[in-house]
Structure formats: C-alpha cells, structure tokens
A and B are shown apart, each in its own frame.
Chain A
Amino acid sequence: MRLDAAVLAVTQVVVMVVLTPLLIGLMRQVRSRLEGRAGAGIAQPWRDVRKLLAKEVLKAPGTSWVQATGPVVLVASSLVLCALIPLVGTVAFPLIPDDLFVVVGVLLIGTVALALVGLDAGSAFGGMGSSRHMTIAALVEPTVLVAIYALSVPIGSSALSQIVDSRMQSPASIAAPVSLLALVALAIAVIAETSRMPVDNPSTHLELTMVHEAMTLESSGRDLAWLELGSWLRLAALLGLIGALVLPWGLATEITPLTLLIGVVAVTIKLAILGAVLATVEVFLAKLRLFRVPELLAGSFVLALLAVTASYLTVQA
C-alpha cells in the first residue's frame, strides 16, 4: 500500500509538471483564437520556462535570501499539492493524509511564500501586489475549506481520496444540491486564488492594476521560472481537484500500469476540458473593480456555507 501510494504520488507530480505548462499554453491559445489572434502555440509556456531557467538571476538592491527561497518554497508547495490531491488515482499515504485541512495548509504556504517574494524587494508595486494577494487569500481560503468540508460531511471523512472514491461509487451525489453549491463556491475560490479573470488579469502590463504579476516584477531568470511554474502548478492542481470532484471517472483505485495509464489520460482530458472552458469564459469577462472582488468572494463563501448547512440537513434526513 505504501509503495502504491509512492508510485502514484511520483506519477502525479511528473505528469502535472509536464502537463501544466501545456495547460497554460492551451488556455492562452484558446483565448487567442477566440479573440481572432493567431496565438503562440500551446508549447510557448514550456519554451518560456526553459528560457528563464537558462538566464542569470538579476537581484534588485536590498533583496534578501527570500528572493531566492520564496520561489523554491512556492514550487515545492505546489508539488506537494500535486502529490496529495487525487488527480490520477485515489490511493493515499496512510501517514500523510490527503486531508482537506492539510491541502489548504499547503496551499497557504505557497501563498505566503509568494507574498513574501513580493515584499522582499521593498518596491511599491510588490508591496501593493502582496497586500492585494493576501486580502484575496484571506477571503478565499475559508471558502475552499468550507466548500470541501460540505462535501466531506456525507462521507464522514475529510480525506479527499475518500470523498472522490465515494463520488465514483455513487455518481448521483455529484448532482446533489449540496455538491453543486460547494462546487460553484470552490470554482470561484479557485479562480480568485490562482489570479484569473475577473479577479486579476494575467495578461496585463499595467503595474498599478496587477495582483499576481506585481509580486513577480522584481524576480528574474531562474527565480521567475520557479514562480511562474509554481503558480501554474497551483492552478493545474486546483483545476484537477475540481475535475476529480465533478468527473471522478478514470481515477486509479489500485495501482497497476494500466490503471495508471488510464488515470493519466483521464486527468489530461479533464484538465484540457476545464482549461478550455475557463479560458473561453474569461474572454467574455471584464476585470472587476478591486473593491468589488470581496463582494464576489463573500458570495462564494455564502454558497459554501449554504452547502455545509444543506449537507447536515441531508445527513440527518
């Protein structure tokens, strides 16, 4: 069992690292095509990462060790996320649970690391980005917790693999009101957490409107590559989590080469679909005024809270 879990975790990490830049490339390509542009092709993010990794790191005056370690911590936390979340299969380590609180905790480590990188150079933009990022994170993390908690109530366990397992066995529960409410809340939270439209504009060049981009302005070369890859991995892992919750099929419940292969193909398809849908929706969205973002996130929190309430009522009934 332990070896199984290790194989699965390694597979998930490798698959996600390979797929994530392609997922980002696919999303950008979908957006380009929908806007009538040619686009750079889905391999462009991979080329960008390769290019950045080969470049020397330029450090702004006054930066500290945080500038170099922050990106590594972000990538490490994202990789742990990829290992923990049931993306390819639902075989978990017995001692390191894929518990929802652990997952949110790991997510927060990455968030804080990124915010510290933004603050480190002492520039106004980085500080602005970090302050906005933490404001959004403070509103998002509870929503993620509460939303998945709502899903865990009927099963009586907060382990993600068991939640996904049970949904695989009784697909009817996916369309239950509790599940739908929780999924919508989770989707909004994921969009905010990963700095997508309408909360943040990932393709802007306007320093003063940036959230995520502002924090990475002072980073370059390898540091920037890790920051980008780490952030993309978070997006991919969280999209994968939504994928596993909405379409739990194809996940490996026991580890054989065939089930692993099926799991990998399944997660690739799910990510491609979700990425394309997200990119398509983004084309038709404009960015919210910053002061409206809390309203959106409060809304998603209310949905999550309703989901929890409803799940208790359903369990008792």
Chain B
Amino acid sequence: MKSWLAIVLLIGGVRCDGFSDQVFKTLYIGEGNACYRTFNKTHEFGCQATKENENGLIVRIDKQEDFENLESCWRALYPAFNGKFWALLPVNLIGRNTISLLKSSECLAGVILYNSPQPQHPEEEITSASHDADCPNAASDYYFQNKKEEYCERKINSGGSITRDGLMRTDWRIQMVFIDKSDDLSVIERCHSLFNIPKENGTTGYPYCGMSFRLANMAAGNSEICNRRGKSEAKLFQANFDSGEVPQICGAMHSDNIFAFPTPIPSSRSNETMNSSKYMMITSRMDSFGMIPEISVGEVSVLTSIISVIAAARSMGTQLEKWQKASNESNKNVFFAFFNGESLDYIGSGAAAYQMGKDIFPQRKIRPDIVRIHPIHANEIDYVLEVQQIGVSKGRKYYVHVDGERYDKNKTSTNKLMDRIERGLRSHGFDLEKLTDSGTRVPPASWHSFAKADPTVQSLLIAPFKEEYEYRRINSILDKNQWTNDEKEKAIQEIEAVATSILAASADYVGLETDDVVAKVDKALIATLFDCLIVSNFWFDCDFMKKLDGDRYHKLFNSYGFNEKSTYISMETHTAFPTVLHWLTIFALGSDKETLNVKSETSCSHLGEFQAMYTYTWQPSPYTGNFSCLKSSIGKKVMVSPAVDPYTPEEEMNTRYSTWMESVYVIESVNLYLMEDTSFEYTMLIIAVLSALLSMFAVGRCSESTFIVDEGEPAAEGGEPL
C-alpha cells in the first residue's frame, strides 16, 4: 500500500515542462487570430475547444479535390492513425460547396487558415465568399420589426453568401486559427512536409507532425444567459476578496462612434428644448466581420466608403465659413456620423437613436458650467445619407435607395437632393438610377435604426448595387484585394464621384450654391487615403499616416485589431481603426485659424475645458508633420447597445437593439510536435509488470541478514557500525 501511495504521489506531484523546448515548436497566437464564441439573444456562434478538438495530425487542403480526403478522413494516407486532423486551408477555399464538408466532418479537430498566395482582385468573380447572410437580419431590420415583410422575402446577398444565415452565425464543432505570419506558416508547412507527406510508395508512418491548439471560452448559451450570469450580484462568490473584482465571462460589443459637426448646433444655457433645426446625417459604417471576426479588413465593406465621406468632409472643412453661413440662414445642418458595429445589428446607430430618444445626443451629461447643446432628436433628422460598397460598380452606374412609402410623402425635396447626387456623379462620368417605386425597400443600412425611432426619417443610400449586392465578398476575410492600377484608378474615380455627390446633396440641403463646392473634392487626398488605408499593410505604414500619427499611436494591446488592419468592432475596443478615423476626421474638419498662437499641447487642452461644442486637439498635419491645435466639433463616443448596456436596464435584451455579445476567452499558443505510435504503450505496460515481478522476486530472496554481517568488530556489534 505504501509503495503504491509513493507512486501516485510521484506521478501526481511531478509535472515539469523542462523538455518542452525539445518537444514543441510553439507558435504564438495573439488575441483575435482564432475563432471564438459570440452570442445574440437566442443563440451562440463560433468555436470552442474541447478535449476532442485540441490535438490532431496536420494535413493540407490546397485545392477543391483535396476535400475528397476529408470525406474519407485521410484513411488511405494515414491508415495507422485514428485520431483527428488539423487541416491547413487557404481562406479562399471556404465556399458553398466545401463548408458543409467542414461542418459535418467527424475527424476534423480544426482548420488552420491562411491567406491564399493567389491575389484576389476586387472585380474578380469569386463564387460566394461573403460571410454575411442571404437576407437582411430579422432581428434588426426595420421592415421585419414592423411586420411589413417575412424573413428572407427580400434577398440582398444571395449571390455572395456562403451559407443562408451567414458564417458568422454558425456554431462550429471544430476550432479555427488564422496564421498571418509567413514565418509561422512556413514552419507548419515544413513540419507537414517532413513527416506527413506520403513517401514515394504512397505510404506514411510514424512519427507524424501533430498540432495542438486551445481556445477556451468563459461563456456559453446566448446573450441573455451571459448577461444574467455576468452581473456582479450573480458572481458574488467568485469575487476576489483582495481586489473585490469579479471575473468577466462575456461582454457587450462596443466601440467608438464618431460624430463630426461642421456647422454648430444651436445651444443654450437653459435646459429648455428648442425644436428649431433640421439635419442631414451623412453616414458610413466603420465595421465589418468574418468567420474569425478580427481578420476581416473590409476594404470594400467599409474603407472605400469611408474615404469618400472623409474626402467630402475635407472639402467642407476647407470652406467651413460658407457652410456655417448657409446653415445659419436655412436652419438646416449636416453632420457626419461614422457608426461602429453596424454589421452586427446596428449597434452604433441603434445606440445613437436611443440617445436621441432620451435627449442625450450628442451631449450626454450636463454640467452647470457648460453650455447645453440642443439635443438632436430623430424627428429632426430629415435624411440619412449613407454610402456603401464604393469602388466596385459594374460599369459606371450607381443607385440611390429610398424607402418607397416615406419617399411618396415628401417627393419634392427628396427628388431635388437625388438630382444633386446624380449631377455630382455625372460630373465624373457615372450614371445614377433612382429606386423610388412605392414598394422600394432600403437595404441593410444605418437608416433602419432611425426609421424605427421616427416615421419621417428618410433614406438616401448611395451604392453600386440595385436589389442584391454585386460584390460577393461583403463582410468576409476575403474582402482584401490586390488592386491593379486600372482597378485602383476606377475605384478612386468612384470615390471622388460619390464624395462630390455627397457634397452636392449636402450643399443643396443647407441652401448653399452647389457650384461653389462641387468641383472641390481633393482627388490627390483620395488617392493618398486609398494607398494608406487600403494598399498599405497597416494603418500607419504610409508617410501621410505616419505624419498624422506623430508618434501618438502605441500598440498597447496584444490583439489582432490593435496591431493589424481590422475593422471589427470587438468588445474591448482593442481596435485601432476608431482612433485612425477620429484623427482623419479631425484633419478633415479641424481648423487652426483661431489657435495659431497656441504652441503647446497643454495650452491646447486647456482651451477645450468647459467647452460644449468644440474640442481642441493637438494634432500634426499629415502633410508637414507639424503639430497645431485644431478646433473642431468632433466627438468620439463609446457606444453600447442599450439592450446589453448595464446603464440602461429598462431596455435589457430588447431586440429592437443589437444583442450581440462576445465571450471572454483564453487563447493558448499553437504547439507543433511529433506524434509517436501509441501501440508501444502496451509493450511498456508488459515491461513494467515484468520489472515489478522481477524486483519482488529478487528482493524477496534477500533479508535483513543479507546486509547485516557480523564482521567481528566489537564496536559494530555494540551498535556503532561505522
């Protein structure tokens, strides 16, 4: 009994990692490079590590035909192996015809995704590469919520979607990890080629190259469960007695929305509401997603549209006095809104619409010593002018989408604005088709959030598609293109044309002479931004952005979104893009005319104290790199969907707003190792039994007298043997 106890203690107590450097080749995987769990109110999606899908033999799927091996579980190649497999797979092979195989395979531990070495071009016809759904989301679309149509009655992405409900909304049994570093990828490929490629006679044998990876999520179920369990009172017994902190198991997706007001909003020192202004909101979404959310750059889903809006804002910023004068006279204003989380049921615009309903937009808290900005309400917004998917039009044609019913009620002014948009586009050689039938529905856009809040808000959505998306990689890992000079030039022309049309419509709205502004979009700026935001590998790689940065950006977080190009919203705001866009907006609309005498950051920040409307930012010029104090009325506001915001308990899990949440997860490194034949374990078991029997036999033949020998020494006999 004692000896058994000793063995158990020995095995249980001795766990060392002393040899790990001789066993494992470790590849570090940062936050955001792997598939993890996300939730909406009713479901969980994404991936979770289990005991069954951690370890596996590495196999390659390089072409469509290789999926036949997946069906047969590679038994012909590895007959002696009966475990699971990690499939090394380029992202462009995830398609409609392969996804079901990946989902249903019983022998797959996971997939190791990497960017295909073959470049993708924006106009390349790739069948179904979008990770978005076929139809507008029933949980958030204005028409579904008002019972005006059935789910999927109207398809918008049927040509592009890989699965009907979208890959983002898939609950996977397997794990997924994305390898973005070429060095890491070559290590995996080398490991595979050394040990797992069949020999000339077609056979393979031990040892094999295996891989282990583990991403463990803290939460499960759905947002409702997660939200409930995440409350402090539910985690009383999990609290750390020293720090008082409770572990977080999931979190609401939240990030920054950016609002820029070129023309001042009416303000007063009293709390009385003045309903005297009208607004046109020029918007563009800031986010996209993919199956592994962070690794979607969203070039066409997000960036081209944003460049067009920034270009329009910059033109406006150079002639602010004209715009302000026109706004004051007409009592109509335009403002820019970049919403985050729009691809996940309109988190940003939903939160903004909620705040408008509560009189806290754009100013949340009122201090008595600060002038109160007149709150903007949804019914004061005449138009939501949004641009989407710029740069990939078929031919030279654009469409403007309006809501048919609302259009019918106010045709005159809307027609006038659409004419201006058309004129702006035509000035650059593009056509515009106006989709104004009474049954016309607005595709997924930020307008839906405001449409739900007020019945008069109208939509003007400028996009290169009619009923369904033409671009088949919206919200996808593959929305990352190799642009030829011709493609780039055409995209820049489209961005310029759309920026011009935005300016034209805005000018007409506020009553400014259109001719004064139409021709003033800075094409060179558009080309620069295209290079910096789309062609460059990271936001701050190009000279323009480096100067704009001025060493202010620090890679504080070890996450994909903070260190690589990503437009995913995420839950911890560990993404760089809101900061990038905020600085670009300040560059576009900020002015140092009134602050030329300010020579330090401290003085600049002092100017912003007690200001309601204006902010003062110490920021360098992207052209010269010289810092100056820029006055602007731009706000970067953290927005959380009211349905999951602990500060709005009355709206908890209200499906009028987004209910998306993310699980907190622990991500481990990828470990490559050699797998040996396990059959030798049984040989060792026999050896162990023989060793034990032989030891008992041999030692059993000895006794105390074997070792206690009377050598005739008196001292030894007396008890002092040495």
The finding on whether chains A and B are genuine partners in a shared complex, rather than unrelated, reads no
* B interface residues, Cβ below 8 angstroms from A: none
> Which residues of A are at the interface with B, using a C-beta cutoff of 8 A?
none
